[in-house]
Structure 1
């Protein structure tokens, strides 16, 4: 993003603090003391003027609305902080994923239909053990949990699953 676009974003009412605490309290439905408490818990971080006066943005008001929803759902303030953090991180990951998907689509388009995929082919690994009947290297099959496995020259035994009856 260019510096001009960054500056324009910071001047946007959605991220720039434009409301004083009393207006934010009225718009959000929370009291002034609650807004200060939420700031102490790190749930909101209003901007500050050079003199230290809190300035709330549209983003802050939207976050306060989400805080109200979580309080109504019975989540405490520490839990709200965790939920908000996870929602922010999830949003960041979703944006990264969309960007990567777009990059991949562009690379595929640039690669053209006549080229082959550069993805590696995954072949199953051979087990070093030989199959008893043929003596050839092969893969041993393990029984599923709870199934019996046959010993070579003996009785069958229960596979260890942590349950012993």
Structure 2
């Protein structure tokens, strides 16, 4: 059970709880789903469930929208930021491999 609580991708939050934590409406969260920022998992009963990672993305979207960015543009910005962070992570790993001394004979 503790492993799930530590997993930021575990869908621990219902739509109502997620909306409450972010101080947004459930409609806002549905809009993020429609805009393809993320796709929440579904409970066996079909209800949307959100992870901590998805809540961070939703908070970032809300911040951008509060600054006057359109929903679709905010989602695109966040997706691109996420892709850039992943590319930078991969680049760092590759650079570390290149810089390691070759220990093979």
TM-score of the two chains, using structure 1 as the length reference? 0.56
2:17 equivalent to 1:20: no
RMSD, aligned α-carbons: 1.6
Gaps of 5+ in 1: 1-7, 112-165
1:39 alignment partner in structure 2: 33
Find the aligned partners of 1:77 and 1:21 in 2 and give their Cα distance.
19
* Contact 1:17–1:56 under 8 Å retained in 2: yes
Find the aligned partners of 1:93 and 1:13 in 2 and give their Cα distance.
22
TM-score of the two chains, using structure 2 as the length reference? 0.85
SS in 2 for 1:110: coil
Q: CA deviation at 1:83?
A: 0.4
Structure richer in helix, relative to its length = 2
Q: CA deviation at 1:100?
A: 0.9
Within the candidate set 72, 86, 93, 1:99 is matched to: 93
Within the candidate set 76, 79, 87, 1:82 is matched to: 76
1:58 alignment partner in structure 2: 52
* Max Rg structure: 1
Within the candidate set 62, 65, 72, 2:66 is matched to: 72
SS in 1 for 2:102: helix
SS in 1 for 2:36: coil
Gaps of 5+ in 2: none
Moved over 6 A (4+): none
SS in 1 for 2:13: coil
